Each structure stands twice: as C-alpha cells, then as structure tokens.
Structure 1
Amino acid sequence: MKYAVITGASRGLGASAAQQLMSKGINVVSIARNESSSLKQEAVNAGAQYTHYSCDLTSTEQVQTVFNEIAAVVFKNAELVYLINNAGVIEPIETAGELEPSLIGKNVQINLTAPILISNLFLQKAKKAGIPAIIANVTSGAAERPIQGWSIYCSTKAAVNMFTMTAGLELEEAGSISKVIAFSPGIMDTDMQATIRSSSEEAFADVAAFRNYKETGSLRSPDTVAGALVKLIMDSSLENGKIYKVNDL
C-alpha cells in the first residue's frame, strides 16, 4: 500500500497531482483549508482511499499535531510514502519598506517553516518504521533570481531549495532509503497567477508580462505540470537533494 500526503491539495497543482496519483491506485491524504468534493469522487472512481485534514499551516502547533496524526496512520500501513509540500503563498507583493509585517510572517510560515517541520517529522517516522519517504518540495524559479516586489517569496523559496539540497546530502551520507527533492513547476494557470496579475505596477514592475502570459495562453495547465511531477516522484532514479525544473523534464 502506498500513500501520498499533499498540502494545498484542494486546487491547482495539488489537486491535479492528487487526482493523478489516485488514478494510479495510490491512497491520498489531502491537507488544505477547504476540502475538494471532486477529489472524493476521484477516489471512488479510482478505488483509492482518500482522507482530508484541515490545518492552519501558519500555526506550528497545528502542523505538529495534525501531521503527527497523519504520520501515525500512513507509516503504520504503508510500504512507501510520498509527501508533496505544495501549499504556498505569493503575498506580500510589495517593495521592501512597504511590506505588511503580518503577511511577511504568514509567507515564511507557509512557504518555509511548514515544509521543513513536515519533512523533518516524516523523515523521522520513515527512519523509525523502515519505510522510504519520497519528499517533493514545490519551489519556484524565483528562488534563483531577485524579482522586484517578490522579496519574501524569492527568499522563502531560495531557503526551501537550500534545505532540500542539504537534507538530500545528509540522507545520502547516512545511506537512507528516503529521498528529498525540489520541483520547480514554472508558470501555471492557477489562483496564484491571478493574484500576481492583480498587483500594481508600483508593487511589481513585471506585472504587465504576467498579464500577457494569460492573454496569450502561455500558462501551462496544472494537469500538465502535475503529470510531470507525478512521473518524477515515481522514478526510481531520483537524485537526492536535486532541484528539478519542469522545463527540463
């Protein structure tokens, strides 16, 4: 029996990945603010087990409590556990000196602190159970270059990449059966893109380019990107700590 635990699974990339994994008979655990009714139906169609948990990823206490509960179930019954740390936020989109403090904290908690806490917990449980965990942290091209108005998003995604590379190195040196990678999905037609397009030019100088991506149909569908992600994590030749980019797959 295999499980896939996916944060932000109610829509976008997370929902598409969950649907595709269930179609392969993999049991899915969804973590999101709101449950997706379509995932429930997909589970019925695929004959896969589906469970939803609500969790406020900005709360360290909730993350520890909810994911300990999830880990107790999946590592008891599974032969392999996939973890996709997909949940993320782009806000605040604003220049330094104009950033909203509460949004800074929320971004850091959701984009960086939660994936580290969850990955740490799952690696502990996987080692104790003798079961491999395959962890994919969803990152961004923004991790590799500064983008005006995205200082916090760029920073948290860069930190996710460094955590991934370091954890991957440690797992290799320890001879672990678990692996951790990062996945950069490129630009997709998601709610995050809609948020970006609604920015002002003062806050985000490149907003016109992102509006043009939508107008010209240049955005990939979440289903297409999820297909690449699912194929990637199921590949036995995964390299620990590697940052995989959808454009290279």
Structure 2
Amino acid sequence: MNYAIVTGASKGLGASAAQRFISEGIPVISVSRNENSALKQAAESAGVSYTHYSCDLSSAQQVQSVFAQICDDVFQHAENVYVINNAGVIEPIDVTGELDPVLVQRNIQVNLSSPILISNLFLQKAKETGSRVIIANVTSGAGERPIQGWSIYCSTKAAVNMFTMTTGLELQNSGSSSKVIAFSPGIMDTDMQVTIRSSSEEAFADVNTFRNYKESGSLRSPDTVASALVKLVLADHLDNGKIYNVNNLL
C-alpha cells in the first residue's frame, strides 16, 4: 500500500499537493497546525483514506512525537511512502542586526530542523521494514543566492539543499531503494507572497519586484506547481540528492 505524508497541508502548495495525491487514489496524511476541511471532504468523495495530525512544526518535541506515531501507523502496511516536507516560513524579513531572535529560531526549526528530523525517522523505519520512502524537501531559489533581508530564509534553504544532496549520496552508496530530492517551486500565489509584499523597503530591498510579480500576473498557481511535484515523485526514475526546479518540469 502507498501513503503520502504532506506537511503544511492546510493551504498553499501543501494543500494542492495533498489534493493531487487524493486524485491519484493515494491515502493522504496531512500534518499542520490547522486542518483543511476541503481535503477531508475531497478524500471522502473520492473514497480515499485521509488522516490529519495537528502539529506545531516549530516544536522539535512535537515533531518527534507526531511523526513517530505516523511512522508506527504507516509502516505496518506500507510499500511506498511519499513524504513532502513542504511547510516553511519566510520571516524574519529584516537585515542582520535587526532580526527577531524568536523568529530566527522558529524559521530554523520549521525550515531546516523539521525536515531533517522527519527524514531521519522515515528513512530509519524504511530500513527496518524494507519499505521504500520517497522524500521531497521543498526548497527555494533563495537557497542559491543572497537576498537582502532574507538571511535566515536563504540560509535554511541552502542548508536543506546540502542536507538533501548529502543524504541522497548516502542512500545511493548504501544501495537503498529510498530516494530524497529537493524541489524548487518558483514563485507562487500563496500567503507567503502576501507576507513578502507587506515588507518595508528598509527590511527587504526587492519588495517592489515581488509586488510587480503579483500585479503582472507572474505568480503560478499552487495547483500547477503541485501537479508537477506529485508527478515528479511518482515517476519511476529519480536522481538521489538532485535539486529539481519546477521551471524544468512544466
């Protein structure tokens, strides 16, 4: 049996990816602070199993507890397990020297520590049970270049990329059937973009560029990007540790 676990599934790319897995007939486990009732209704209509786990991904303790429980439930019957580490936060948006320490810690935990902890748990369980896990860590082009005001977001996404590449190398060298990749979704019309556009020019020098993306209709819909993501992870061939860009998939 196959399962899809999607973090940050209450809205945006996560909700769209979960919906796409449901349309493919794959049981979905959503993980976020709040549940998306539309996903539950869609799964009921499609006759597909759906479970929601409430979890604050900024809490390492909650992540360990909730995902250990998910692993215990899923790997009793799993053949293929698809894990989409999608949840992410952009804040703090500000120059170094003006950063909010609380937001810094939250960003690091949600964007970096949680995907690492989740990947570690699932790969450990897959090795124990002989199951196959496909992990997609949602990254960003910001992980490949410096952007004023985004020092923490850029840093966590760069670290996610390196974690993905290193873990992919380890899986390849061990002969594992499991895979881990990163997926860069480009610019989408999501709540994160709303947060970005509300920044001040002092905190984020490129804010007007992002405002123009919205005004010019340059933002892709989460549904379009999610379709490319789910199609990618369901494909027969994936390169372990590779960072895939949505622009090359559409």
TM-score range, shorter chain: over 0.9
Map of 1:23-62 to 2, 5 A cutoff?
23-62=23-62
Map of 1:202-217 to 2, 5 A cutoff?
202-217=202-217
For residue 195 of structure 1, give the secondary structure of its aligned residue in structure 2.
Answer: helix
How many residues of Structure 1 are paired with residues of Structure 2 in the alignment? 249
Deviations 1:75-102 (A, max 9, x none): 1111110000000000000000000000
For residue 62 of structure 2, give the secondary structure of its aligned residue in structure 1.
Answer: helix
1:102 matched residue in structure 2: 102
The unaligned stretches of length 5 or more in structure 1 are: none
1:15 matched residue in structure 2: 15
- Determine whether 1:6 maps to 2:10: no
The unaligned stretches of length 5 or more in structure 2 are: none
1:139 matched residue in structure 2: 139
Instruction: Give the superposition deviation at 1:220.
Output: 0.1
- Determine whether 1:165 maps to 2:165: yes
Deviations 1:39-97 (A, max 9, x none): 00110122110000011111111111100000001111111100000000000000000
Instruction: Give the superposition deviation at 1:211.
Output: 0.4
Map of 1:222-233 to 2, 5 A cutoff?
222-233=222-233
Q: Report the AA paired with residue 31 of structure 1.
A: V
Instruction: Give the superposition deviation at 1:32.
Output: 0.6
Distance 1:96 1:37 in 2: 39
Instruction: Give the superposition deviation at 1:158.
Output: 0.1
Distance 2:40 2:174 in 1: 39
| TM-score, normalization by structure 1 | 0.99
- Determine whether 1:235 maps to 2:235: yes
For residue 77 of structure 1, give the secondary structure of its aligned residue in structure 2.
Answer: coil
Kindly indicate whether the alpha-carbon contact (under 8 Å) linking 1:181 and 1:242 is maintained by their aligned counterparts in 2.
yes
Poorly superposed stretches of 4+, deviation over 2 Å: none
Distance 2:190 2:55 in 1: 21
For residue 76 of structure 1, give the secondary structure of its aligned residue in structure 2.
Answer: coil
Distance 1:56 1:20 in 2: 24
For residue 108 of structure 1, give the secondary structure of its aligned residue in structure 2.
Answer: helix
Q: Report the AA paired with residue 214 of structure 2.
A: K
2:184 matched residue in structure 1: 184
Q: Report the AA paired with residue 13 of structure 2.
A: L
Deviations 1:140-172 (A, max 9, x none): 000000000000000000000000000000000
For residue 136 of structure 1, give the secondary structure of its aligned residue in structure 2.
Answer: strand
Instruction: Give the superposition deviation at 1:103.
Output: 0.4
Q: Report the AA paired with residue 114 of structure 1.
A: S
Instruction: Give the superposition deviation at 1:137.
Output: 0.1
Bigger mean CA offset, 49-58 vs 184-193: 49-58
For residue 237 of structure 1, give the secondary structure of its aligned residue in structure 2.
Answer: coil
Q: Report the AA paired with residue 40 of structure 1.
A: K
2:127 matched residue in structure 1: 127
Bigger mean CA offset, 99-108 vs 39-48: 39-48
| TM-score, normalization by structure 2 | 0.99
Instruction: Give the superposition deviation at 1:192.
Output: 0.2
For residue 186 of structure 2, give the secondary structure of its aligned residue in structure 1.
Answer: coil
Distance 1:248 1:103 in 2: 33
Deviations 1:15-47 (A, max 9, x none): 000001011110000001100110001101221
Distance 1:43 1:237 in 2: 28
